[in-house]
Amino acid sequence: MKKLVLFLALFVFALPLLGCSEEAETTTADGEITTADGEITTGDSYATIDLEEYTGTQTELTIWVGTESAEFYQARADEYIASFGGSYPFTINVEGVNTGSAAATFLDDTEAGADIFTIAHDNLGKLTDGSSAIAPVLNEELLNQMEADNPQNFIDVSRATFGETEYSFGIPYIAQSLVLYYNTDYITEEQVLSWEGILESATANDKQAVSLTGADGYNNSFLLLATRVADHSSTLELYTDGIQENCVGTGDDTVAIMSWGQRFFNDPNGAKSPTDSGWEIELTDDGVTAPISISVIGGAWNFSAAQAALGDKLGIATLPTFTLTEEDAYGTATAGTVYKSGTFADTKMFVMKKATDYQNYLEDILIYFSSAEVQEGSFEECANLPAYKNAITEFDGFDETTLAGQLAIKQTEMFEWGIPQPFGAANKYNFYYYSKGAPELLLEILENPDISINTMQDIYDQLVIIETIWKTGSQPA
């Protein structure tokens, strides 16, 4: 605690030493900060906090974070305020919310919405489409910290174009990816490296190799997003460069991977699609209930349930590899090629309400809230995986001898094999990918329920439909 207070005290002491922009600027009624030539400013204009300059009537700032994190961030806010020695003009109220719906909740009533709130990065589009409902990051110190602390892909998805210029609107601070939870009584450390190894154990023990937590386009993305182990390559494209037409799901490798996946899903001991019984029941091995499945694909939000199902039999691994056979070879995708299951490797970000006279206060809070020090505390106290790119080597909590440490390490390792959900450029991309029937058509390839997708051409034809949905939101005529 002394270290934290000292850090904040030194930080506040140093603020007057930072330069201020001399360029004339104005603030419009809707909170856009413009210079004399009409450009949104960046740089030193918000690099200082002069506590004497605030003359507004607002006395409370509201921050929305995930419910599991509210207590932690309220404590950080209280310490931040205390470092000003009683002269800070606001109280800060941190509220726990569903971060998946926070963007929509904010848009329902922006005036009543939080001053700072958390969103999944793929929701950025709905907040910046048209006249942006949130403010761009203008503070040079915050921009530099983001650049230094975050992986480039997180920086990229935090940006959006406004008035033909690209700005950073989000401040990454939490990361997430899918991993494999598995039963160590059935799967060895060698077998867990590949789906073939897991299937071998499942067959020998008359179990299912893996249960899915969902058939949607996120939880059943592990094959679609797979990349070649040798060079991390894939022909798959999803809205590359934020362009609607830049979607490719019909490459030779995708066809071959779906062929492999169809055999995996139709093997009596292979993958198990979601059922009414629930993956938690299927995984449970408590000495009374025998497991149906010996592994499950899930995220950090599934950790507690997986631990409850398996207890000290719980193992955590990156998603396994698989190898194409002669049955799967198609065009340039040849037998013997090894692929690594993929994931959406995402970030959650802080964003700011458009402000008129206190954006500098919000940005200064976010310099601290998104700092490596606070991210480490958030990981240790709330199990939030840091967005900080050096966490795996610098944070003590990344300890492979603990399950929490293993979860963090394996999620972080999966970032090498994942991509951020590329839907932030426009809200409709998210809608096209998830809600227009493409996930159901992908599962049809894998499950082949009416035995109508029997050839490589059949798989290709189904992928053409999926690709068209991604591009247009509709099936081809």
User: Mean pLDDT over residues 78-87, rounded?
Assistant: 91
Which of 130-139, 194-203, 217-226 has the lowest average pLDDT? 130-139
Which backbone phi and psi does 140 adopt, to 5 degrees?
Answer: -65, -40
Q: Does residue 18 have a pLDDT over 50?
A: no
Q: Cβ(308)–Cβ(280) under 8 Å?
A: yes
Q: Does residue 79 have a pLDDT over 80?
A: yes
How far is residue 405 from each of residues 158, 180, 249, 300, 396, measured CA to CA in Å? 27, 15, 35, 12, 9
Residue with the two structure tokens 């340039």: 332
Pick 206 or 48 by higher pLDDT.
Answer: 206
Pick 122 or 256 by higher pLDDT.
Answer: 256
At residue 40, the pLDDT reads 41
Residue 166 structure tokens: 């690209």
50: left (phi over 0), alpha (psi -120 to 50) or beta: beta
Which range scores top for mean pLDDT: 7-21, 123-137, 291-305?
291-305
pLDDT, the chain, mean:
88
Encode pLDDT of 231-247 as tens digits.
Answer: 999 999 999 988 999 99
Which of 80-84, 96-100, 167-171, 424-428 has the lowest average pLDDT? 424-428
Pick 127 or 16 by higher pLDDT.
Answer: 127
At residue 339, the pLDDT reads 98
Q: Does residue 13 have a pLDDT over 70?
A: no
Residue 188 host element (H or E): none
Q: Looking at domain 2-42+55-175+346-419, which of 3.40.190.10, 3.90.480.20, 3.40.140.10, 3.30.1360.170 is its CATH number? A: 3.40.190.10
Going by C-alpha positions, the residue among 138, 116, 170 that lies closest to residue 45 is 138
At residue 50, the pLDDT reads 63
Judge: domain 178-344+436-472, CATH 2.70.70.10.
Answer: no
CB atoms within 10 A of CB 276: 5
At residue 22, the pLDDT reads 29
Which of 4-18, 49-63, 137-151 has the lowest average pLDDT? 4-18
Percent of the chain with pLDDT over 70: 89
Pick 2 or 141 by higher pLDDT.
Answer: 141
Q: Cβ(128)–Cβ(136) under 8 Å?
A: no
Q: Does residue 132 have a pLDDT over 50?
A: yes
Q: Does residue 319 have a pLDDT over 50?
A: yes
The full set of domain ranges for the chain reads 2-42+55-175+346-419, 178-344+436-472
At residue 130, the pLDDT reads 78
Do 2-42+55-175+346-419 and 178-344+436-472 come out as alike in CATH topology?
yes
Q: Residue 47: which pLDDT band, with cuts at 50, 70 and 90?
A: very low
User: Mean pLDDT over residues 273-285, rounded?
Assistant: 93
Q: Residue 355: which pLDDT band, with cuts at 50, 70 and 90?
A: confident
Encode pLDDT of 186-211 as tens digits.
Answer: 999 999 999 999 999 999 999 999 99
Q: Residue 383: which pLDDT band, with cuts at 50, 70 and 90?
A: confident
Pick 474 or 49 by higher pLDDT.
Answer: 474
Helices (H), 161-222: 195-204
Polymer length of the chain? 477
Q: Burial of 21 by CB count in 10 Å (0-12 exposed, 13-18 middle, 19+ buried)?
A: middle
At residue 33, the pLDDT reads 39
Which backbone phi and psi does 134 adopt, to 5 degrees?
Answer: -125, 165
User: Mean pLDDT over residues 284-293, rounded?
Assistant: 92
Q: Cβ(274)–Cβ(280) under 8 Å?
A: no
At residue 45, the pLDDT reads 34
At residue 356, the pLDDT reads 67
Which of 31-40, 68-77, 178-187, 347-356 has the lowest average pLDDT? 31-40
Q: Does residue 316 have a pLDDT over 80?
A: yes
User: Mean pLDDT over residues 244-252, rounded?
Assistant: 97
Pick 163 or 363 by higher pLDDT.
Answer: 363
**Identity at 272, one-letter amino acid code:** K
pTM: 0.81
User: DSSP letters along 270-310, please?
Assistant: SEE---TT-HHHHH--SSSSPPSBSEEEE-GGGHHHHHHHH
Beta-sheet strand order (sheet of 271-272): 271-272, 210-212, 295-298, 179-183, 314-317
Q: Which residues contact 332 (CB under 8 A, 6 or more apart)?
A: 252, 253
